[in-house]
Chains A and B, each alone.
Chain A
Amino acid sequence: MIIFEYLADLFGAIPAAFISGILPIAFVVPYALFAVYWERKVSAHMQDRLGPMRTGWHGYLQTIADILKLIQKEDIVATAVDKPLFNLAPILVFAGSYAAFAAIPFSSAYIGANVDLGMLYIIAVSGLVVAGILMAGWASNNKYSLIGAVRSAAQIVSYEIPTVIVILTLFSIVGTLNLYELSEIQSSNIFNWMIFGGNVIGWKKIVLIPLMFAAFIIIYLTTLAEVNRTPFDIPEAESELVAGYHTEYSGMKFAMFFLAEYANMFAVSAIVATLFLGGYHSPFGYLGNLLGISWLVPVEQFFWFTFKGLGFVTVQMWLRWTLPRLRVDQLMTVCWKYLIPLSFVIFLLVSLLMVL
């Protein structure tokens, strides 16, 4: 049973909606703190360094110390900025990336809002991030910020197209955009995961598998670009644009952008995991079912979900610390000349297959 329904029985619908809306924050904030720490450790160990070691055991408290420092910092606002937009931008960016968590099913017992058009909602809401970034770049009244923001807008808008086409492809197989239902379809068996063709059976499944693998790679690349991570991190390319759209931000506003970036990384990883890798479902079956403890199953599901999400986040970090950065025209080439045609071909083939 979904937590929301349980709470609605107890307190009524509105307080229940409020409580279940607050829950993702209880996940996102500790996750972001951990992810920042994790990124530092991953990068450090890739570069023969130790990373943070002083604050707490193996530097565990480093990000908390950083956040405390950022809170205490003077909030510098340059005189020539457009103040309302400048102050609104980090909030908007964080809101956009946080709102996406609402429609992501963390386990069979928890989804913030069980919307029928969940996937479309996520795509739409992450569009807010573009508005926030453009706002930040424009309001900062800084040329680096402006270039970064314009690049970012172009990039995110372009890369949404192949993402949506891949989602359409999935839709043509399962017939639902509800992420909760999509996760349930992929239950019980690893070969029911969408990357192995979902619940389709017979010869069609064998044809679907390579197509789904290709679609998976496409959506992984495009989501990487949507969160501005290397090799697609040209909006904040520190060697060219200093820090891109958040050059002028300091203190807590900077931390908001930072937090939003890490929240976004998990959001897109979670979406990819939900769409292709069975969402919260375990690849092996559940200990709870084996022991007959029914409440253990959702907990295990939550574990698997975070495991998959963090796995993708780690791959994103791995790529970041290995690869150089593309140039802006090459970035567009990758999207328009390769990913979009390829995703269209996959979409057509899959639709054809499902009609047969």
Chain B
Amino acid sequence: METKTSHLRSEEMILNMGPQHPSTHGVLRLEVELDGELIIDVRPHIGYLHRCFEKHCEAMTYPQIIPYVDRLDYLASMYNEFGYALAVERLAGIEVPPRVEYIRVIMGELQRIASHLVAVGTYGLDIGAFTPFLYCFIEREKILTLFEMTCGARLLYNYIWVGGVSHDLPPDFIRLTKEFIVTFKPIIAELNNLLSYNKIFIERTANVGILPLDTAINFGVTGPNLRASGLKWDLRRDDPYSIYDKFDFEIPVGEGWHGTVGDCWDRYYLRMLEMEQSIRIIEQAIEQIPDGDVTSAIPKRIKPAEGQIYSRVENPRGELGYYIVSKGGLQPHRLKVRPPSFVNLEVLGELCKGHLVADVIAILGSIDIVLGEVDR
């Protein structure tokens, strides 16, 4: 008997993931083209958080911009300030005291740990493991408490200023940071046992969303995502800024521990390894930190000479660059940010092709974007 199926229409389904969705890590809309559960294409739609940051900067003096810089990558505010202060200092030729440099590095690396903890925790959440997320947040809370006692804020700090930092470290800070490091080291091992080496977790992430090195370079991917694909590229080592050349630390790269180099598990696990390295840097910085005044080099008025600068730092998510053009006024003539999340997000469509719906979430989580920075 002949069955007639020609009249049955078959078509791809377009699924709008977001802007309100539990796992898009903010207000991101993914237009997912599906054939059953199989993905044909993923098109990210961004701009829901756009707030004219760059244009706004042209109307503000250099120090006024710092609070806005906080709001770019709100999980790594300290590092955004660090990068911005560095760029303006280079532009205006300001030397900062050594104690300031050490404070900035300690803050930056603590921020990196806090940011990676969110990345790792929410990644577990994406895969369906709820508990590691809260374990990560307990630790992040301790770091935020350290920040709070330093500058009064827990998320958006306005702490690192051009030419210095707003306050010196509080008296207990060094002791509490040392205590935190001692308690945090075993936590990494615990998280690894709970999540990283879990059989189901490995099944879900290994060999999923493989990012080959040449694709990563072509798309301009930076940070842990690039290193997970196997390239030892870290601006702290390859284009040293501040005092990073004084510290002894390693740059972990993806080795395809459970699958192929550059898969989701590599990207995830690299963040675990980076947290260990950040701890090493903090330990050394705490040992070496000199005494001194932290506000002495802060200028009353910042009026750089005419010129331009591109200054970049290794933010927890990759290369954060500030391009500033000065026409000699109190405000920048143009300020352009090169946000790592925005550039890293571009590669999503490439990674998702041929995977299943559940993998979109796994891949997006492993790229670790912050929408505040994608949209600016």
Contacts and interface: CB of A to CB of B under 8 A. Distances in A.
Interface string B12-47: 010100000111000000000000010000000000
Nearest to B360: A240
Contacts of A323: 128-129, 198, 200
A325 B15 contact: no
Given A48-B134, A147-B357, A240-B358, A327 B204 contact: yes
A321 B130 contact: yes
A323 B37 CA distance: 23
B128 A237 contact: yes
B142 to A, nearest CB: 13
Interface string B346-371: 00000000001111110000000000
Interface in A312-339: 321-330
B138 interface: yes
A330 B203 CA distance: 8
Contacts of B203: 326-327, 330
Contacts of B23: 239-240
A107 B232 CA distance: 66
A233 B358 CA distance: 12
B201 interface: yes
Query: Main SS of the interface on chain B?
Result: helix
Interface residues of B, number: 30
Nearest to B201: A324
Interface centre among B13, B203, B204, B358 (most CB of A within 10 A): B358
Contact of A326 (B22, B126, B130, B200): B200
Interface string A108-128: 000000000000000000000
Contacts of A325: 127-129, 200, 204, 358
Interface in B246-278: none
Contacts of B358: 234, 237, 240, 325, 327-328
A143 B13 contact: yes
B125 interface: yes
B124 interface: yes
B356 A242 contact: no
A148 B357 CA distance: 11
A276 B194 CA distance: 31
Nearest to B23: A239
Contacts of A326: 200, 203-204
B356 A329 contact: yes
27 contacts: A46-B131, A47-B134, A48-B135, A147-B37, A231-B128, A234-B358, A237-B128, A239-B125, A239-B127, A239-B361, A240-B23, A240-B361, A241-B357, A321-B130, A323-B128, A323-B129, A323-B198, A324-B124, A324-B127, A324-B129, A324-B200, A324-B201, A327-B203, A327-B356, A327-B359, A328-B356, A330-B204
Given A47-B131, A147-B357, A240-B358, 6 more contacts: A144-B15, A239-B23, A324-B129, A324-B198, A327-B204, A327-B356
Interface of A: 43, 46-49, 143-144, 147, 230-231, 233-234, 237-242, 321-330
